[in-house]
Amino acid sequence: MKLRNLFICIGLMLAMAGCKKDLQNPHIPPGDTTVIQQPVPYTVVENFENGSKMAYAIANVQLSTGLWSFNDALIGSLAADVKDGNKAVRLRTGDITMKFDVKGLKQISIKHAKYGNDAASTWQLMISTDSGATFTQLGTDIAENSTSLVTDSFKVTTTAKVRFQIRKLGTTRINIDDITFKGLGDPGIIVGPPDTGGSDTTGNTGTAAPDRGVIAGTDAQPATGDNSNILLGNPSDAQPAIVMANNYLIDQKYYEESYNSTRGTPNWVSWHLDATNITNATARLDNFAGFNGLPAGFYEVESNSYSGSGFDRGHNCPSADRTSSVNANSATFLMTNMIPQAPQNNQQTWANLENYLREQVVAGNEVYIVMGSYGTGGTGSNGSVSTITSGHVTVPSNVWKVAVVVPTGDGDVNRITTSTRVIAVNTPNINTINADWKQYRVTVRDIEKATGYNLLSNLPQAVQDAVETKKDNL
């Protein structure tokens, strides 16, 4: 795995700067204890490994960083393509253009080389501050005469949101790879594809995919200690015992869950998220399947069980939180990781929250997350119902999540303090929900009261009392 080609978080020392008083700020009088929140550095790399385009004809291409327009350009993987990894852009006479903006950018770096035995040529980097309406050249023309990848960096001085175009001059071909964005604060880039797929709201019953289990690779989370999936506690004291059919603990390696056989959904799912999990080594697989590891007598929800229900197959642990391997992404598509979720709740409100948490990882953090649902009765695209699948799957009334955000490091339990940021969200499972997840922030204690669970139970009681009673307001 080439970490330099992945989404890499840097600047952990500055990540803690927001906890310190800026004694040099001239606007703070002596003795004032005002806290100055320092923007956190970010580094985001587009390595083109996640895209596919085999022809020169103009078309948009979805890449890890967002949508790009390829005009007389393709994504090459031939031996003659000069690349860092398996793929690189091969640009002939046209251009490649970002269809999205980046915020807080200070520098952009681009690796480039001649393609194969083509003659030397020239290209330009163009910048737009009006969302692509107009472009002007940034820096000077770049002469392309190298047979191996070289890097050119460009300083960005504007404070506006920007997007870029790489414009080719002449008819010979060049390769472009590893475009690196460095800046401060929130880049505004969605990290990985959101969980907006998986809708099963049509009337087509179809044929269920074969049940399967989890194959754990080396990228699976450790069973215990730092980065383990239930490091911060087992909220319902779930156990892998058949007599606990409605609170049955399943270690799916890439997450852990309490499964409820009567409801046909998890009570909660818990997982750890850091930069190694969102490397985009695999695309979203959409390989929904029943789980073959349930004990005999447990009801097995199948991949087509939600068909015609008006509800999405809503992930608990998101697909985009597990893109480090096919095994990792496949684990998230087991039906034991799903709830019947109102489409707008899943595709807007929840997707926005999931993207936001991945952005915190890009900004230099790791996140411990537990998500669950409770109650009976939600409103999907076909109206309000209490159950689906002939009564075998309960539609929850509420969907909740708790996320503990800490700077990347070791000794995680000991590093979580009374000032650690904890985000708790509780949303109604309805189709008229607001897309802004921040409107549904609550305290952890609010969720504990509604569910009866003991969240974050492995933290010292004094820390729990502090972080569980504060409502996030950032």
Which residues are marked as active site? 315
Could you tell me the end-to-end alpha-carbon distance of the chain, in angstroms, rounded to an integer?
A: 34
Q: Which residues pair with 338 in a beta bridge?
A: 315
Q: What are phi and psi of 117, to 5 degrees?
A: -100, 15
Contact present, 378 and 311 (Cβ < 8 Å): yes
Q: In angstroms, how far apart are the furthest CA atoms of the chain?
A: 72
Cα gap 266→270, rounded to integer Å: 10
Neighbouring residues of 162: CB distance < 8 A, sequence distance ≥ 6: 101, 102, 105, 127, 128, 129, 156
Q: Is 64 exposed, middle or buried (0-12, 13-18, 19+ CB in 10 A)?
A: buried
Q: Is 452 exposed, middle or buried (0-12, 13-18, 19+ CB in 10 A)?
A: exposed
Could you identify the residue written with the tokens 């979203």? Answer: 284
Q: How many residues does the chain have?
A: 474
15's tokens = 């990540």
Degrees (nearest 5) of the Cα angle 78, 170, 118? Answer: 35
Cα gap 242→248, rounded to integer Å: 7
Cα gap 71→277, rounded to integer Å: 32
Q: Is 79 exposed, middle or buried (0-12, 13-18, 19+ CB in 10 A)?
A: exposed
Question: With left for phi above 0 and alpha for psi between -120 and 50, is residue 285 left, alpha or beta?
Answer: alpha
Cα–Cα nearest to 328, from 403, 255, 249: 255
Amino acid at 429: N
Q: Is 140 exposed, middle or buried (0-12, 13-18, 19+ CB in 10 A)?
A: exposed
